[in-house]
Structure 1
Amino acid sequence: MPQPRAVVVGAGVGGLTAAVALWRRRWRVTVLERARVLEPVGAGIAVAPNAQRALDVLGLGDAVRARAAFSGSGGLRTPRGRWISRTTGEAAAARFGGPVVLTRRAELVDLLLGALPEGTVRTGTTVTHVEPGAAGGAPARVTSERGTVEAELVVAADGVHSPTRAALFPDHPGPDYAGLTAWRFVADAPATGYEPHETWGRGTLWGTTPLAGSRVYCYATAVVPPGGRAPDDELAELRRRFGDWHAPVPQLLDAVAADAVLRDDVHDMPTPLPAFHRGRVALLGDAAHPMTPNLGQGGCQAVEDAVVLAHLATAEGELAAYTERRLPRTTLVARRSRRVAALTAWRSRPAVAARALMFAATGLLGPAAALRALDGIADWRPPGAYQRTG
């Protein structure tokens, strides 16, 4: 029988994972990416144990684990440097079966690209129209400047502002500004002399995590109106907001070039979609369930989506089981992440002081207490039927 054909729209982490997973299950796969060059959006990415186990299905989990750079302790701090609560890599490993691995997004993209046959990804290709087709009936059709192709499956991994989602669900309100803007960068700096931390201020947050190869991933958020840009540059904006915070924040700001700082408004989708599919089109990752970054699960859930979709998708276009498996779980993760984002947005001094006391009390219960937000998330495992391929 001829191989079924899949077209993936978007070459981010989720789209590429779906391409690898489908190709290894004997689909003919083409990835269409509008960018002319694959330059990964974002500086770093957290790959939690749940996503590592999903990548194990593809034989790629160990390659990600090899990028782990830190296994000691870390925690939550105040802008003056006082520790509010602590946890350890060992506590995470004991609770979830492994630590969270922080790596450069570009390295994860390269790993996924290396698992695909040459020519699978077509850059500089903008999809202008998707006809969903029908399960058990007409194939889907994807139109771009290269022409129109038919496929038994289309995977829409085209991001937070997914044109495919908007076309398939025109009455859905779509994503909203989550009230936060995020900055991210990777600095070439020795990852020594400090412990990984998040520091919460008044409507502001800073995070510092070492990466392999003497690099450090830094991220920050602030409660600001959407669509803003610094009058000079975003590095200067970070210095204005965080330059007087505890070490090593000022030193890391001195270790990065202005053009290496990324700024993006954060969006999520308080109203979940009614389904993650229509006809022969499946939505994946941010196209299906954009979420705030506060649990580090956006990319992880996209990786889960991809492995589950490849396992459940059929050449006849049956995708209801994919929606059934993924919509409830991602809705839970997005809501939990939104609640953490709301905590970081507190700005009044009494509220911030009460928040610090709450976390300090939690810290007294031991390192595992700080990990409870990821219970039921980071401990996810692919069902036994999802056999490792490769």
Structure 2
Amino acid sequence: MRGRAAIVGAGISGLTTAIGLRGIGWEVHVLERWPKINSQGTALGVRPDAQAALARLGLDEELRRRTVPYRRAQIRTPGGRRIADLPLERIERKGGAPVLMLSRISLMEMLLDAAGDASITTGTEITDPEALRGEYDLVVGADGLRSTVRTAYFGTAVRPRYTGIVAWRGVVGFEPDLRGETWGPGQVFGITPQEPGSTNWYAAVATPEGHRETLDELRARFTGWHDPIPRILAEVDEETVLRHEIHELSSHLRSFVTGNVALVGDAAHAMSPALGQGACQALLDAVALTDCLRTADEVETALRAYDARRRKPAQRLVTMSRHMARFSNHPLTGPRNALLRLLPA
């Protein structure tokens, strides 16, 4: 089956969906509200299932060229004592490949290159998605956490909710020996590879909604924590550090589809980044939607198959991410760390 698709949003889910649909012969128009496509961001971890999804689109070689493997890392106390290992080796055993790290900037460049001559229009804000339904055979809401498409067709009962956590992220120009996460009371600091010569860092800190903490205040939070955390924060550039209040969808949607409209990525299942699964799930959505449209005779039949394939697994990860965020940022560190030591590697 072939047709015309309007994709609202040119982030990871929107561009990947465009690549997939063009690959099966669809005419695709991507509509992005920002004046230019936003490639901002730091490191993302691509798990084996998401790597397989990119391979389905012919992007496996380019992915390997741009990434570095992430194989071993620990969870530590602020004093540097090891509590447990991150489950990277288990992920590799189960999936047959290590987690691969790359910057969001690099992934977006890769997707834009692969989109080729797809029609991408920026500076176009869709306020009435209904106007698209008559013009296109398929409308895809890939417009993120505050999705206009989701609100128009699925209502406001499911809406963004602040998790109580602010995420800080950045990159520094050296490679420390230590990688992983350090868990303190109400805050987590993470260090991962990104590319040769640079290191991705992130901090998740419990913060009242609306409170605008300064970078110096963030540094003060981590005073006395083990090396190289103070060194990383000392080298952070105020101009490049990213700070975001973390929101998730307040509850689960009953469906990702209605009629000829489908939701993908954060529009469907925005989640806490505690499990590092947001980008991976967006890639899986796009490829699943493509697969269902490839084999079905009607758009609505394909969308029902897509919903059956993706909704429950994605929503399960939303719930798991919520619990992990609360667990890792829990203020009672003693019981939390004791429980963590009992978990399988």
User: Quick check: TM above 0.5?
Assistant: yes
Indicate the larger mover: 49-58 or 84-93: 84-93
- SS of match in other structure, 2:57: coil
2:323: which partner in 1? 339
2:232 to 249, 252, 256: 252
1:356 and 2:317 aligned:
no
| Cα pair distance change 1:247/1:326, threshold 3 Å | same
Distance 1:126 1:315 in 2: 31
Distance 1:305 1:92 in 2: 20
Distance 2:124 2:90 in 1: 45
Using the TM superposition, give the Cα deviation of residue 42 of structure 1 relative to its aligned residue in structure 2, in angstroms. 2.7
In structure 1, list runs of 5 or more residues that go unmatched. Answer: 133-138, 142-149, 363-368, 371-390
Sequence identity of aligned pairs in percent? 39
| Cα pair distance change 1:71/1:323, threshold 3 Å | closer
Alignment check: 8 A CA contact 1:184 1:262 kept: yes
Q: CA RMSD in A?
A: 2.0
Using the TM superposition, give the Cα deviation of residue 254 of structure 1 relative to its aligned residue in structure 2, in angstroms. 2.4
User: Could you state the TM-score of these two structures normalised by the residue count of structure 1?
Assistant: 0.83
1:44 and 2:43 aligned:
yes
Distance 2:297 2:211 in 1: 45
2:244: which partner in 1? 264
Using the TM superposition, give the Cα deviation of residue 70 of structure 1 relative to its aligned residue in structure 2, in angstroms. 4.3
Alignment check: 8 A CA contact 1:156 1:164 kept: yes
Total equivalences in the alignment: 341
1:317 to 280, 292, 299: 299
Distance 2:93 2:305 in 1: 32
Using the TM superposition, give the Cα deviation of residue 100 of structure 1 relative to its aligned residue in structure 2, in angstroms. 1.1
Superposed CA offset, 1:83-133 (max 9, x none) = 11125755432222111112110100000111112352211221121118x
One-letter amino acid of the counterpart of residue 95, structure 2: F
Alignment check: 8 A CA contact 1:153 1:315 kept: no
Using the TM superposition, give the Cα deviation of residue 160 of structure 1 relative to its aligned residue in structure 2, in angstroms. 0.6
Using the TM superposition, give the Cα deviation of residue 41 of structure 1 relative to its aligned residue in structure 2, in angstroms. 4.1
- The correspondence of residues 368-379 of structure 1 with structure 2, limited to 5 A, is 369-370=344-345
Distance 1:346 1:207 in 2: 16
Relative to total residues, which structure has the larger helix share, 1 or 2? Answer: 2
1:73: which partner in 2? 72
Distance 1:171 1:112 in 2: 31
1:218: which partner in 2? 201
1:198: which partner in 2? 181
- The correspondence of residues 51-66 of structure 1 with structure 2, limited to 5 A, is 51-66=50-65
- SS of match in other structure, 1:42: coil
- SS of match in other structure, 2:49: helix
| Cα pair distance change 1:227/1:7, threshold 3 Å | same
One-letter amino acid of the counterpart of residue 322, structure 1: Y
Distance 2:71 2:158 in 1: 43
User: Could you state the TM-score of these two structures normalised by the residue count of structure 2?
Assistant: 0.93
| Cα pair distance change 1:237/1:20, threshold 3 Å | farther
Distance 2:156 2:14 in 1: 25
| Cα pair distance change 1:72/1:45, threshold 3 Å | closer
Alignment check: 8 A CA contact 1:152 1:316 kept: no
- The correspondence of residues 159-170 of structure 1 with structure 2, limited to 5 A, is 159-170=144-155
